Each structure stands twice: as structure tokens, then as C-alpha cells.
Structure 1
């Protein structure tokens, strides 16, 4: 079937042309061909879904559209969609197998009580990082000096992992989200991380604490189908890796978007209570530019287009979040927008397990950075900002900034 259907290249974000939105051709596709056949950077062919309603339908129905393919095989050669499912690969599971993992994750990182317990630590971390910069006026790379240390410190403290050991999960994150490496390249850094985290899991089993990893291990032991050390190791390792890079990039990317729309940055500086809504709007505007992949489990259709069992489907999340049928004037950053329903953290049973932590970090930064550094500004013209390439985690590779003063906490 697929060989008789014409394809076009998968549109990927082009920040040089549209720094805060999907590739320019996406709007026309969404209006004229909302379900279209595309060829992807890793060589696979898939159906691209760009409308909001269609995106929610695919992500919300794992019976018809399975996550067994993994979410990024269209962009990353280290995540081939036909790779056999291995023990502990919870992110590629569906149904009861996936629910089993989510029910252990939730008490560790997602409940309202846990988030409120984490809030003072996240605020303290943000303030300490700004205090450490108070003697400087720039230029400083905000990504290296603030965003990455913040998210690394938070996830390390959540899991009670020494901050000094951060390089081991930085290396995995860099390899995991890079389009340059293959499975062997990822395994070369992933297996040492598994060894490291496995030792931590066994230590928590012997002497649990209050940290998120201890909760994972304890809940896993108490489950009606007890978790193996490898399953627990992969869960904890996944938090360490994903919890640092994706949120750090969103903090940096979101800051750039606000600095490019100065009145909205200034409003946050004057009224930090706007931070929660601003965080949701930035995730809507900027998030998941590479899209999320699924595989059809049966012959079906989306938007009137037949999809055969076994064919891949890519949900272009950012295109859906820029659908004018759902969000008025969607290309505009609007921190007052009612963003309820955006799918920047995914949708359905596979939506981001760590989204509440990410929300907490983003909201804390947006309530703190503009208030304490109201004179924050780019240290170079915006057109000179370099964006990351060969990755599924989009955003500036560096964000040179300057300021007049950093106000006390």
C-alpha cells in the first residue's frame, strides 16, 4: 500500500525561519492535507497528523495506536521502532503492563502532596543559582549557568543522587536525544548508568529513605506483581535522564520567547502570580516539535484517511497546539491565554509521567527569574542565537544574557 502513495519529507522545526513555532509548511498541511504520508530522517515512512482533534484521537486510543514503536524512532536511529520490547521498557508498553509502572511512578513524583514537598527545594535551588550569579553582569550563558544546573540539582535531590555524579546521566541524555548515534552508541553510555542506578536501587531496598527513588523501590516491592531490580533501575534511570534535559531546554527556550516579547516578560516581573499560566502557554507554544510516534494495531482511519495495521503514525504535537481551530491566534505568545487542553505533555495514558515536576520547575523559574532579574536581556542579537541540531529536544544551544543587577531573594 505505502509504496503507491507519494510521500514528502517530514517537516521539522526550523528555528531560523520560525523560532517559536512549527516549520512554515505545517500550517498549509494542517489546512489542506491534515493526514499525509511523510518520509522521516531515520528512513521510515509514516502518516503525519497535524490537526488538534486528530492528534488527541491518536494519542488517546492506545488500542488502535500502540506505543510499542517507541515515541521517537522517526527522528532517532538509537530508538528503532521494530526493536524487541525488553524487560523494564515501560515507555513502550500499553494496557495493564504500562498501568503497572504508572501506579508506582505516581506516588513518587506526581501527587499533590509530593509536589508541595518538593516546592521549597526547587525555589531554594533557583534562588541559590541566581545568588551565585549576583556578582556578575554577563554575558553569561543562561542555559549552562542556570537552566541545566537547576534541573540537574532538582532531579538529583529528588532521587537523592549525588550532584557530583551528574555527568553520568548527562552523557546518557546527550546520547539518548541525539540523532547522530545508533543503538550501540546509546548502549555504550546507558549500561554504565544502569550499573550505577542499580547499585542505588539495591541500597534503597536495604535502607529506604524519603526520596523519590526510595518510594519507587518500596512501592515496587509491595506491588501485587513485585518489580525486578532491572525494572526499578530503568524507571529511576529514565527519571534521571529525561528529567534534566527536556525541562532545562524548555526553561531556556521559554526565556528566549519571553525576551523576544518584552512586555510579557515585564508583566511576569511585576506579577509572579502569572507564572503558572505562562508555563502552560510556553509548553503549548514550544513543546514536542519533533512529534510523537505510534504504530497502528489494526486497519483504521484518521480524518477519513485509511491507515493500515502496522503503519506508523506521527502526531505533530506542536502543529496540533498551533491549530487555529483550537487556539485563537496560535502563533502568538499570550501568557493570559486559557491553555487548558494543550497536548504539550502528551495526551492519554502515555502523557509525560514527570509533567508535574516539569510544571513545578517552569513555574518556579517564571515566578523568580523575571522578578529577581527584571533587567535580563539578550547579550547578542536574537538572530545570532544558535539552536540545537540533530536532536528531538529543541531549543537554544546557548543563551547569552546580561543584566544590570540581580535583586535579593
Structure 2
């Protein structure tokens, strides 16, 4: 294959836990390669760990929505600026303004204070699982509802609205849903979020959105921030809990560390090993030399999170789930100024979730063959649709 020949973004996974094999081959031979985008754009794919971090930390690469092209066809419009408040798709100083207002809500210290409530929520769902007895779908019974309750409480979403918000968020994340349905779900979710913002302005409560009503943010900005945080908080952690449990049940050893002081290492290794966010995109604002190639101004660079987190130059034996490795430096939460704002919340939820789950059900195991677990290959965030599990009743 010629060095300049463009490839298509690979999607097919050889196993439930491993990224497409083509990514590893590219990382070894062409860590920056020409990529053909579905809309006809000719850009780049970066697979090496060091190069991925370089792109994500270089201000010459923009996160602005109107400049980017996506490596997969989502059926949505491109070339549109992000609405006010959607700071993940903005550059400094716009991004900095929003980020500064929110950083205090997601500090490590504040997340530690939330730990007791997260453990309480987790145990309440495990109580229901235990009463109902095996088997159970761990996605429905455990992985999906816990992050939903936590992020909804953090934002101040009333309990009666949570199911509606969750259903709309799921529609938006599906890759196989017609664009008309996605637009309808987006508009409905936005309308509900604007109603929530108005309610918080009229009668503030002890939550994140109420706290932000005291800033100079407009109702539109507040609604978009709430929408963005809700979507991110629902889908990503839910899939890490479900897919992470699947991985722990499929690899003898790591789950044992959850009963000791090794839970933090287990969480970091699962984040590295699974990389449920497959890629991030940036667009060059000027000509940039990257990995020996010239990336021209206006060209979009897709960085493969999964390939970077499996780079043997950074993580020896990267295709092995090794909960005793030092997995720090992974890019599961991105890197640079756009590194995930809610990463500490996700870590707390995973620590609490995995520890409580395997502590409560030490005999937990799959209720079906591994090949029968339905994978989320039709979703923008990878994971499992269902995870049937069972355990020894009365343990």
C-alpha cells in the first residue's frame, strides 16, 4: 500500500474487547496515515500514543464543530457551529470561559464527597437485584440506572423526568436511528432542558444547574451545558460499568483486586483496555508537521483512542488485561484542555460500582455464552446492549 493511499476508518472488532486489528497494523507502520472521510474529505488518522497526545494538546488543532469532518457516517449535518454552551466543540477563549465555570463542580475533592451518595444509589439497585434473584440483565438492573440517577441528581433533574431524558439520550447515541428521529429527540431534550433551567432560575435548589444560574450564562447556554453534561454522564459510565463487568468476568484475576486496595488500578486498566470512545477529531488551523507528515490547514485529524491505549511503546503487552500494571497516561478521557471534565465522577462511579457488585455477588458469572452478548457496534459509544448474568442464589 502506498504511503499516500487513503484508508477508511476501520470498525470491525475481532473480539468484544479488542479494537479493529487494522489499527495495530497502522500504528506499527504508519502511525499517521491518510484517511478517507465519508463526506469526501481527505484527512488523517493518528494511531500512536505519543502522536495522539501531541494532537490533543496542540492549540493549532481545533475542536470547533464547524471545521471538523467525522470518520464515520452518523447521518448528521457537518459544518455547523456548535450552539452556545457546547464547549466541547469550542476552542479557547470560548472553551475556557465555560470550563472555568464548571471546573469547581467536578474537583476530586467534591467527587469524594459524592462517594457516599453514589455508594448508596449503587447498593439500592443491588438490593433489588438480590431480592429478584438470578438471572438478571446487568445493563438494565445496574449499569444504566446508576449513572443516570447520579448525573440527574447532580444537575437537578426531577425524578419524574429522568426516564424521558434517558430515552431521548439513547436515541441520539444510536448510529442506526434515522436522522429525523434524532432531530426530534434532540429538540425534545432541548425543550425539556430549557424548562428545567427556567424552573431553576425561579426556584434554585442544591444542584449544578441552580448554581450556574447565578453566573452570566444565558438560558440557551445553560440548557446546552445541561444537555451536554447529561448525555456524557449517562452513556459513557454506563457502558464502562457493563463492558467492564463483561471483561472482568472473562478474565480471571482482576476482579480479585476489587476486594483489596487495588480497585483504583483495576479501574484505570479497564479504562485503558476498553476505550469505549473510539476516536476524537481535531482540525488543523494552519500547516502542521506531525510525525513526519505535513498536515495542511483545514485537514481533519482523527485520533484513535483505542489504538493509542494499546500502543506497546507506552504499555508493554497492551492487549493483555493486566490490573496490576500502572495504566496512568492512558487517553480514555482525552488529553489537553479538552480532557473530560467528568472523569473524576466516572472514576468514583466505577470504583463504587465494581466493588459493590463483586462484593455482593462473588459468584457472579455470565448467564449466556460470551458470543451471545449483544455488542453496541451500532452505537457511537461502544459497549453492550445487554449483559445476562447469574449467581449462586442465597450467597
Q: CA RMSD in A?
A: 2.0
**CA deviation string 1:101-121 (max 9, x = no partner):** 11111122x123321231111
Query: Cα distance, 1:346 vs. partner?
Result: 0.4
| Residue 190 of structure 1: how far off its partner (Å) | 1.4
Name which of 267, 278, 284 aligns with 1:296.
284
| CA distance in 2 between partners of 1:258 and 1:72 (Å) | 35
Pick from 185, 194, 200 the counterpart of residue 198 of structure 1: 194
For 2:97, the equivalent position in structure 1 comes to 100
Distance 1:32 1:247 in 2: 33
How many residue pairs get aligned? The number is: 392
Cα 1:72–1:8 change in 2 (3 A) is closer
Bigger shift: 72-81 or 346-355? 72-81
Kept in 2: contact 1:281–1:339 (CA 8 A) = yes
Tell me by how many angstroms 1:185 deviates.
3.6
Counterparts in 2 of 1:241 and 1:96: CA distance versus 1, 3 Å: same
In the other structure, the counterpart of 1:249 is: 239
Partners of 1:138 and 1:344 in 2: how far apart? 33
Taking the aligned partners of 2:305 and 2:69, their CA distance within structure 1 comes to 13
2:239–2:276 Cα contact (<8 Å) kept: no
Do the aligned partners of 1:56 and 1:347 also contact (CA within 8 Å) in 2?
Answer: yes
Is the counterpart of residue 34 in structure 1 residue 22 in structure 2? no
Shift of the alpha carbon at 1:144? Answer: 1.0
Partner Cα separation in structure 2 for residue 312 and residue 208 of structure 1: 42
Match of 1:144 among 140, 143, 146: 140
- Displacement, 1:310? 0.6
TM, length-normalised to structure 2: 0.93
The alpha carbon displacement at 1:72 in A equals 7.9
Q: Does 1:59 align with 2:83?
A: no
Distance 1:96 1:296, change over 3 A: same
Residue of structure 2 equivalent to 1:286? 274
Give yes or no for the alignment of 1:370 onto 2:358: yes
1:202-222 deviation per Cα after TM superposition (whole angstroms, max 9, x unaligned): 22223322212222222xx2x
Q: How does 1:124-139 map to 2 (within 5 A)?
A: 124-139=120-135
In structure 2, relative to structure 1, the CA distance for the partners of 1:327 and 1:158 (3 Å cut) is same
| Distance in 1, Cα, partners of 2:222 & 2:353 | 30
Structure 2 vs 1, CA of residues 386 and 357 (structure 1 numbering), >3 Å: closer, same or farther? Answer: same
- Give the gaps of 5 or more residues in structure 1: none
Corresponding residue of 1:231: 221
Q: Distance in 2 between matches of 1:196 and 1:186?
A: 15
Give the distance between the partners of 1:42 and 1:359, measured in 2 at CA.
36
Instruction: Identify which of 322, 336, 344 aligns with 1:334.
Output: 322
Structure 1 partner of 2:9:
10
